[in-house]
Amino acid sequence: MAKIAFLFPGQGSQTVGMAGEIAGTYESAAQIFKQAESILGESFTSLMKNGPQEELTKTYNAQPALLTSSVAILEVLKEKGVHMDYAAGHSLGEYSALVAAGALSFEDALKAVRKRGELMEEAVPDGQGSMAAVLGMERSALKDVTDEITDQGDEVQLANLNCPGQIVISGSAAGVEKASSLAKERGAKRVLPLNVSGPFHSSLMKPAAEKFQHELANISISNAQVPVVANVTADAVFESEKIEKLLVAQLYSPVLWEDSIEQLISLGVDTFVEAGPGKVLSGLVKKINRKATVYPVYDQETLEVAVAALKGE
């Protein structure tokens, strides 16, 4: 029997009006928006619906907005009888995956990601850290580059291992700049600086992770009811204690996305449903394994396509 994994996007996928059509059509999705409004205020859901995009893109807004959109879509998929065997989320998306798996309540996850976003914004002064996407270079060769620059005193490391030939590096502004130049010298096809507010998934996030650990101590994490493949290890986890430790480590550790998808495929998954704005993860899955079936669900039309295919209607 083929297995289904639900995937949840991370920061960068946010768009004004995301999940708005679905929330306007289904009461279960509208309820998630209402819950977000009662926790974070009317101005928050108004920002999701109306923008401006620049304000929505700020880390402390983007994170709870993406979680809200993904969970709203998740509720409708469940209502339609589409169920998952596994869950995974890219970086921030891991929180949506944990809500989907019953390890976190939506309310606790929302409070946690708002705080996570604030701490990530505060961790490194503006302009002192950065990230860049390196295209067309092997993982081991790029790691040699980042290790070399770090050893010379400018911190930089692999941050997102997204799919073959697409790796994001993160660290100090000088470290990322030097590693970008050296990567090009050593055969990278292209290096694209990313418009982000900090060096996410790098060791520069350790101070944020320490503060975040105290925040997580105040929320209830349960054992997951379906396995969640964690970013930090690319292994399936159930246990609440392990989940908590991995969420702290996730702030300063690489996102092993390619490995996570490979792991899901090895566990028998052949169909992936991406619940959230856009279809970035669907594209990455196809680059990792062309045979995989993917259904991005972000509006009424894509929802109907996925439900018809998965329910055999």
User: How far is Cα 225 from Cα 228, in angstroms, rounded to an integer?
Assistant: 9
Report the pLDDT value the prediction gives residue 23, as an integer from 0 to 100: 97
Q: Which pLDDT tens digit goes with each residue over 87-104? A: 999 999 999 999 999 999
Full DSSP string of 229-274: E-TTT-SEE--HHHHHHHHHHHTTS-B-HHHHHHHHHHTTEEEEEE
Report the pLDDT value the prediction gives residue 127, as an integer from 0 to 100: 87
**Residue 237 forms beta bridges with which residues?**
228
Report the pLDDT value the prediction gives residue 287, as an integer from 0 to 100: 98
Q: By three-state DSSP, how is residue 169 classified? A: strand
Q: What are phi and psi of 172, to 5 degrees?
A: -65, 155
Identify whether 91 is a catalytic site residue.
yes
User: How far is Cα 189 from Cα 169, in angstroms, rounded to an integer?
Assistant: 15
Residue tagged active-site, from 13, 69, 70, 91: 91
**Residue 89 forms beta bridges with which residues?**
8
Identify whether 214 is a catalytic site residue.
no
Residue tagged active-site, from 201, 253, 260, 282: 201
Q: Between these two residues, 193 and 126, which has the higher pLDDT value?
A: 193
Structural contact between residues 124 and 171, judged by C-beta atoms closer than 8 angstroms:
no
Name the pLDDT band for 126 (thresholds 50, 70, 90): confident
Domains of the chain (ranges; CATH) run 3-123+204-311 (3.40.366.10), 129-196 (3.30.70.250)
Q: Which pLDDT tens digit goes with each residue over 229-255? A: 999 999 999 999 999 999 999 999 999
pLDDT over 70 at 313, yes or no? no
